[in-house]
């Protein structure tokens, strides 16, 4: 069996002049302008001309000069991954690592450079705005935005193309976003618990200044109301997505209602914290208390017991964010995309 190897451009040997666009044009038998349009992905180039240019690039060993292209197009070729949470959460919360990996791959596929930025303090925010306003990036992928954060208004004023992960409260018409169907995901989690016969269902919410935190709590309400159940304020405790906040919220819930029989935690990390507290309180899972999380991060399958959770398709979210940002950079109208969720049943709350 013979394997055909793809054409690989040969790098210029030492002392040999670096091939230019004009060399490619001469080799392809087309104009300089045609080569430029092909390299920059412009329209109005025939398929035959595209093939001729690509073949000529392969034969000449031409590679683009990023600095020259930046000067010619007015673009940097760089995209910022901007996290507005404390730095330690980048490593503690498994969702951020999945999103970072997905974004890095999607940008690499488009020959764009990823710049990681963290802006959780006033000083970091000031440096971030200064950098982004200076034209050093073509756009921003914004993660974990909180309503009331002055950074949001500053980003909009800087007129930097932005796509957020999740709904940005108060900026829905100004900032494009890609989000999971958080509300229906929360509702499906609670309906699963109701179908299992649970009658004293508590929830640990995400931050209520985030779209995901608000919508997942609303899904909890929707399910209870649809089944004629009463919403007890004492069965709602708030967290910040972290394990520690999930543990603290679980202690509060048990103090209010020691006989609760189910918990819906708005993130897997908070659910893991809740599982630890339930073990300490000698409450068996799922025998005494069923637990459902949200995200289906790598964490969910490793908890004890493995966690029933709502799958948040983070790889797809990352890809859609990059795709949408390239549209916004090209001048298209901001819009929002919602991707569906699904319930993944494991031992913490079997069917």
Q: What is the distance between the alpha carbons of residues 176 and 294, in angstroms, rounded to a whole number?
A: 23
Mean pLDDT of the chain: 87
pLDDT of residue 11 exceeding 70: no
pLDDT digits (tens, 9 = 90+) for 253-291: 999 999 999 999 999 999 999 999 999 999 999 999 999
182's CB contacts (< 8 A; 6+ apart) are 166, 211, 212, 215, 216, 219, 341
pLDDT of residue 37 exceeding 90: no
User: Mean pLDDT throughout 70-87?
Assistant: 74
pLDDT digits (tens, 9 = 90+) for 170-179: 898 889 999 9
Confidence of residue 144 (pLDDT cuts 50, 70, 90): confident
User: Structure tokens of 133?
Assistant: 């306003």
pLDDT recorded at residue 16: 55
Q: What is the distance between the alpha carbons of residues 32 and 30, in angstroms, rounded to a whole number?
A: 7
**Least confident range of 4-13, 139-148, 246-255:** 4-13
pLDDT of residue 74 exceeding 60: no
pLDDT recorded at residue 13: 47
Question: For residue 117, what is the enclosing H or E element?
Answer: strand 113-118
Task: Report the candidate in 322, 274, 317, 268 with the shortest Cα–Cα distance to residue 293.
Answer: 268
Confidence of residue 36 (pLDDT cuts 50, 70, 90): confident
Question: What residues pair up with 114 in beta bridges, in sequence order?
Answer: 79
């Amino acid at each position: 069996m013979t394997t055909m190897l793809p054409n690989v451009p040969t790098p210029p040997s030492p002392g040999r002049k670096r091939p230019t666009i004009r060399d490619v044009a001469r080799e392809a038998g087309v104009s300089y302008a045609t080569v430029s349009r092909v390299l920059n992905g412009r329209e109005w180039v025939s398929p035959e001309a595209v093939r001729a240019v690509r073949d000529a690039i392969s034969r000449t060993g031409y590679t683009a000069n990023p600095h020259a292209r930046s000067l010619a197009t007015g673009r940097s070729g760089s995209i910022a991954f901007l996290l507005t949470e404390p730095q330690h959460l980048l490593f503690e919360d498994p969702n951020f690592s999945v999103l970072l990996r997905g974004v890095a791959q999607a940008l690499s596929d488009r020959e764009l450079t990823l710049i990681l930025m963290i802006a959780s303090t006033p000083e970091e925010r000031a440096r971030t705005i200064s950098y982004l306003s200076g034209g050093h990036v073509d756009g921003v992928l914004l993660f974990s935005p909180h309503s009331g954060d002055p950074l949001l208004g500053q980003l909009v004023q800087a007129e930097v193309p932005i796509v957020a992960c999740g709904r940005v409260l108060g900026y829905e018409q100004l900032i494009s976003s890609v989000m999971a169907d958080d509300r229906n995901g929360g509702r499906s989690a609670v309906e699963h618990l109701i179908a299992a016969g649970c009658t004293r269902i508590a929830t640990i919410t995400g931050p209520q200044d985030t779209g995901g935190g608000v919508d997942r709590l609303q899904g909890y309400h929707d399910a209870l109301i649809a089944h004629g159940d009463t919403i007890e304020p004492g069965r709602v405790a708030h967290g910040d997505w972290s394990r520690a906040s999930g543990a603290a919220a679980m202690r509060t819930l048990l103090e209010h209602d020691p006989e609760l029989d189910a918990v819906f935690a708005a993130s897997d990390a908070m659910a893991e914290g809740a599982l630890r507290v339930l073990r300490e309180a000698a409450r068996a899972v799922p025998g005494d208390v069923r637990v459902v999380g949200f995200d289906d991060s790598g964490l969910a399958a490793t908890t004890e017991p493995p966690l029933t959770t709502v799958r948040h398709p983070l790889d797809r979210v990352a890809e859609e964010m990059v795709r949408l940002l390239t549209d916004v950079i090209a001048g298209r109208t901001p819009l929002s995309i919602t991707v569906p969720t699904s319930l993944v049943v494991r031992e913490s709350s079997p069917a």
